A and B are shown apart, each in its own frame.
Chain A
Amino acid sequence: MDFELMINSFPKLLDATLVTLKLLSLSLFFGLFIGLIFAILRMNKNPIINRFAYGYSYVFRGTPLLVQIFIIYFGLGQIEYLRSTFLWTILKEPYWCAIIAFALNTGAYTSEILRSAFQTIKPGLIEAGKSLGISSKIIFYKIQIPIAIKQSLPAYGNEIILMLKGTSLASTVTLMDLTGVAKYIISTTFKPIEVFIVAGGIYLFMTFLIHNLIKYLEKKYSYQ
């Protein structure tokens, strides 16, 4: 065990952790919007719209995240027509390709989490709102959404943790995130165990923080 290497690589890995956190927060931000939109579409009565929303979550939950990144990064890069459009300015960058893949992936899971949360809302609450003459728009924003968020917190916390670990795949499209830098250090020192232990420890610590944040929020928003 080379403890000196572990200590020396720690600051470099900590710098890379910032990249990982940026990837995670941007993906979750866009993913939450995508998830919310598709959860609402899923509950639409029009069969074409809700089949489309179901198809999206089916495809993105049914294929590996790595494959999705490769299709978006290497796959779309092969389409010559695309390279002449403005889209290429975004897709040219591995950073945005990774965020698009992560956001679409977590969006699919989030839409399922939110949908089931919406469906567990007791119809009585909505009827109570209606009987008070509140418009259905306000019922949705002031009653359904807040309840759905509370209901979905535990499952969503899980999704954040899964996504944190998913960001390690960014290193496969040349990004120097925590895993990418760990691999780089290994490639010059040939000592995988030491470096991966430190990197794994940092991931574990981040999971610990996320876990506790969610626990805190659950407590804060619980009905008592």
Chain B
Amino acid sequence: MNKLKIFGLGILISLFLSVTSNADTVRIGTEGAYPPWNSKDASGNLIGFEVELANELCKIMKHDCTIVEQDWDGMIPALLMRKFDAIMAGMSITAERQKTITFSQGYADEVASLAVMKGSSLEGMDTPEGINLSLGGSDVNKALKTLTAALAGKTVCVQTATIHQNFLDSGDVGSVKVRTYKTQDEVNLDLASGRCDAALAAAVAFTDYAEKSGKAVVLTGPTFSGGAFGNGVGVGIRQGGDDKIGKRDAKLLKDFNRAIDKARKQGIISKLAIKHFGFDASM
């Protein structure tokens, strides 16, 4: 009986130690469901552009890092609850998010695009190739008008809590029916099944899905950047403070910024971007 107690106590202590001993490890949260940014292989290991980049940045910072998986819709709350110390999950730097957390400089940029199934009436819209909402101008206004007319009454599917949802909710393209999903996978499934008239996400998310699934998903309309789409993708970190953890967070932000500078100069980010996206998405 006594031995059993000691044994049990030993397990408890080791569990406790395993939680506390790595207080100096930097834990990085990612979604693992947004290829090619981050995803999982068949055996459940996290892979993708950001997973490799995170490991490179940690090498430069000389930090021990562990990469933690977290559902997208709980990403920022989990960061705030200190389940991890940094977010690298294709998260765009937006003013709305900056009210709650802070971002490192951007490490990569993506454009968003609408996607439809081949043969859809929304295919081949008469719009410029890309619009930057921050720049504005008559081109942008004309494109938004075309989109508003084309999407009237249509169901457009997006992943929840994304810049893409924010854009549709902003009313820039009128009052479309927005349907939100927990993951991009589910958006893709319902686009293919015909429940969505169109979907909005990072252009690479659709091309990656079309390539891997063989489904006839095609991009349509302009590519979007700026405005609601934010200013590139950066590392999300808690806003620093005066207490011990706050200071550690502030230092982590500096470390990440320096490491991104270095990785950019050495061409690491470009190399990884070309490997995963097929083009240089680094910034």
Residues of A within 8 A of B (CB): 74, 77-78, 83, 88, 92, 94, 172, 174, 183-184, 186-188, 190-192
Contact = CB atoms under 8 A, between A and B. Distances in A.
Interface in B38-80: 73-74, 76-77, 80
A72 to B, nearest CB: 12
Contact of B80 (A94, A183, A190): A190
Given A83-B194, A190-B77, 4 more contacts: A174-B180, A187-B165, A190-B100, A191-B77
B186 interface: yes
Contacts of A183: 73, 160
Contacts of A188: 96, 161
**Closest 5 pairs (CB-CB, A-B):** A187-B161, A77-B193, A190-B76, A174-B179, A190-B100
Contacts of B195: 77, 92, 94
A167 to B, nearest CB: 17
Given A172-B182, A174-B179, A190-B100, A77 B73 contact: no
A184 B160 contact: yes
Contacts of B181: 174
Contacts of B208: none
5 contacts: A74-B186, A74-B193, A77-B195, A183-B73, A191-B77
A204 to B, nearest CB: 22
User: Of residues B100, B179, B195, which shows the largest number of chain A Cβ atoms within 10 Å of its Cβ?
Assistant: B195
Interface string B161-185: 1000100000000000001111000
Contacts of A92: 194-195
B190 interface: yes
A184 B178 CA distance: 12
A94 B100 CA distance: 33
B189 interface: yes
A183 B161 CA distance: 9
A192 B194 contact: no
Contacts of A94: 179, 195
Contacts of A184: 160, 180
A92 B157 CA distance: 14
Given A77-B189, A174-B179, A187 B73 contact: yes
A130 B80 CA distance: 71
A81 B161 CA distance: 33
Contacts of B76: 190
B47 to A, nearest CB: 24
A190 B74 CA distance: 8
Contacts of A192: 74, 77
Interface in B69-112: 73-74, 76-77, 80, 96, 100
Contacts of B157: 174
Interface string B188-205: 011001110000000000
Given A92-B194, A174-B179, A186 B73 contact: yes
A192 B194 CA distance: 33
Contacts of B74: 192
B165 to A, nearest CB: 8
A80 B161 CA distance: 30
A36 B74 CA distance: 41
A172 B181 CA distance: 7
A128 B195 CA distance: 57
A74 B189 contact: yes
A77 B96 contact: no
Contacts of A191: 77
A59 to B, nearest CB: 24
B69 to A, nearest CB: 18
B193 to A, nearest CB: 4
Interface in B144-171: 157, 160-161, 165
A105 to B, nearest CB: 21
Interface in B217-232: none
A89 to B, nearest CB: 11
Contacts of B80: 190
Contacts of B190: 74, 77, 174
Nearest to B187: A174
Contacts of B186: 74
Nearest to B165: A187
Interface in B108-148: none
